[in-house]
């Protein structure tokens, strides 16, 4: 029951004792204890991960639906809890989730934060007072037939699915930007390089087409990992003992959750103890995001290298000038967008290591490190979306220096490679040896033998 109250504070009670908290707070004593126990110091609160909060209350709404339908909750209480969850998901109450997103107890504080907020909202709707836990109690009603140990893992996977829905739009935008660049200048010749050495004449379409295939491939990889992760343990309660919850509730709750969230692929794991022990499916998502990050990093570094110059670098593409590049050197313009992408990718990869550690630190019948893994994956999605959007802008503003690229495509080693295709490797190699490795002499001999290989600007270089 609620204790004393004043204009600014009220006193709530839990199993440990009484604790003061703001009078108008929707959360309760366990949330307040978590606020005290885990100081933020400028770091992210649970409410700063709105998709996870939405997922938590969606789980609670599904449980209320199943419990109401099975007769375990009065209809008015069930409907009030569902309505309270809808209010949170509308965005009105994220400030009521003030605890540190990384907290001890295997996510218990997150689960109780949701239980307390929904209980107070539901009670208020039914005429009760905040903190009185009547007519709706956070444990007896909101948490009925649940445990942190099936709620948090399930919410994690829902949040990841929603995060991918948002991120995928940015990834698709990058695909469109690359495809448009292929249309704009894909036919322009360029010099391919291996080990940063001249290799063979190709086109920008070949290079950009490789980028497009890479992005499409990692998008499919993430999509597969997210889909696989939607096998949830809701209904497993504490450690996955099926006997701990009514069978009717267990059968119905995941279907109710699918309806609540709009996620068609949700399904209950056939091995509930495994669901409590092993969050490896979420690590698969983190790993797919890591591969995506490293892929974008590679593309960003390529663009940065191709744009190096403006006189004595590669100077083969021009990137959009978006800001001055130096406080000391006039007229300098840096490739800041690719560099931004590289940094975002670095952090995505670092977060994958956090998720990996969370998996391997699980012990025996329960992995209590779901919150670090969840936070890592959700931030990875945020960063990947930002990186993809930034890179799309960069590609969209890029243009090649056609003359310089045509000149480079006619490099001597590229011509020698063509000779190898016509006369054989040994003949081409002998040509190089006979001319003492002198690129000028080699080039002259190539053009004497095969004048059709002369690029349009050959006379300028001879």
**Domain positions in the chain:** 9-144, 150-235+267-400, 410-461
Let me know: does 188 contact 400? Beta carbons within 8 Å: yes
Q: How far is CA 225 from CA 155, 176, 229, in A?
A: 16, 23, 6
Average pLDDT over residues 282-294: 98
Dihedrals phi, psi of 192, to nearest 5 degrees: -75, 150
Query: What pLDDT score was predicted for residue 295?
Result: 98
The β-bridge relationship of strands 399-400 and 231-232 is unpaired
Class of the CATH domain delimited by 9-144: mainly alpha
Q: State the Cα angle at 390 between 388 and 391, rounded to 5°.
A: 65
**Confidence band (pLDDT; 50, 70, 90) for 1?**
very low
**Residue tagged active-site, from 9, 123, 229, 326:** 326
How would residue 455 be classed by pLDDT, with cut points 50, 70 and 90? confident
**Whether the model pTM is above 0.95:** no
Instruction: Write down the residue that tokens 């969850």 correspond to.
Output: 85
Task: Band the pLDDT of 461: cuts 50, 70, 90.
Answer: very low
Distance of CA 301 to the CA centre of its chain: 20
Supply the pLDDT for residue 126: 96
pLDDT, residue 5, reads 58
Would the pLDDT of 194 be above 80?
A: yes
pLDDT at 327: 86
Active site residue 326: yes
Q: Are 9-144 and 150-235+267-400 the same fold in CATH?
A: no
* pLDDT score, position 444: 92
The CATH number for 150-235+267-400, chosen from 3.40.50.720, 1.10.600.10, 1.20.210.10, 1.20.200.10, is 1.20.200.10
> By three-state DSSP, how is residue 48 classified?
helix
């Amino acid at each position: 029951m609620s204790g004393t109250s004043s204009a600014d504070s009220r006193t709530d009670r839990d199993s440990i004792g009484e604790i003061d908290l703001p009078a108008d707070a929707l959360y309760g004593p366990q949330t307040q204890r978590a606020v005290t126990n885990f100081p933020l110091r400028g770091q992210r609160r649970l409410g700063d991960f709105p998709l996870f909060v939405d997922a938590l209350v969606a789980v609670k709404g599904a449980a209320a639906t199943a419990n109401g339908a099975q007769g375990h909750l009065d209809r008015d209480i069930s409907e009030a809890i569902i309505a309270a969850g809808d209010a949170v998901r509308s965005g009105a109450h994220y400030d009521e989730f003030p605890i540190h997103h990384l907290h001890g107890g295997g996510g218990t504080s997150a689960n109780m934060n949701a239980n307390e907020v929904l209980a107070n909202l539901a009670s208020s709707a039914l005429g009760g007072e905040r903190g009185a836990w009547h007519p709706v109690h956070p444990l007896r009603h909101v948490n009925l037939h649940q445990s942190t140990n099936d709620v948090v893992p399930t919410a994690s996977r829902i949040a990841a699915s929603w995060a991918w829905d948002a991120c995928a739009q940015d990834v698709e935008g990058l695909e469109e930007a690359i495809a448009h660049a292929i249309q704009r200048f894909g036919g322009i010749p360029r010099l391919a390089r291996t080990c940063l050495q001249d290799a063979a004449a190709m086109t920008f379409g070949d290079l950009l087409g490789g980028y497009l295939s890479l992005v499409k491939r990692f998008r499919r990889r993430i999509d597969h990992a997210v889909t696989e992760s939607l096998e949830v343990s809701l209904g497993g309660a504490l450690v996955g003992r099926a006997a701990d919850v009514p069978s009717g509730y267990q059968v119905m709750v995941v279907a109710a959750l699918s309806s609540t969230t709009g996620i068609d692929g949700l399904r209950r794991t056939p091995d509930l103890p495994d669901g409590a022990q092993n969050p490896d499916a979420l690590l698969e998502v983190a790993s797919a995001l890591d591969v995506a990050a490293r892929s974008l990093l590679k593309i960003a570094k390529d663009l940065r290298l191709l744009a190096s110059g403006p006189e004595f670098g590669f100077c083969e593409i021009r990137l959009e000038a978006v800001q001055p590049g130096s406080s000391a050197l006039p007229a300098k313009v840096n490739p800041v967008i690719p560099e931004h992408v590289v940094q975002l990718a670095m952090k995505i990869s670092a977060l994958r290591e956090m998720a990996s550690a969370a998996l391997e630190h699980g012990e025996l019948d329960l992995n209590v490190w779901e919150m670090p893994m969840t936070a890592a994956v959700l931030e990875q999605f945020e960063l990947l979306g930002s990186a993809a959007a930034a890179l799309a802008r960069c590609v969209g503003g890029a243009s090649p220096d056609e003359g310089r690229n045509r000149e480079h495509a006619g490099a001597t080693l590229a011509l020698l490679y063509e000779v190898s295709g016509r006369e054989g490797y040994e003949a081409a190699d002998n040509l190089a040896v006979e001319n003492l490795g002198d690129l000028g002499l080699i080039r002259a001999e190539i053009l004497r033998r095969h004048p059709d290989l002369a690029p349009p600007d050959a006379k300028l270089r001879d």
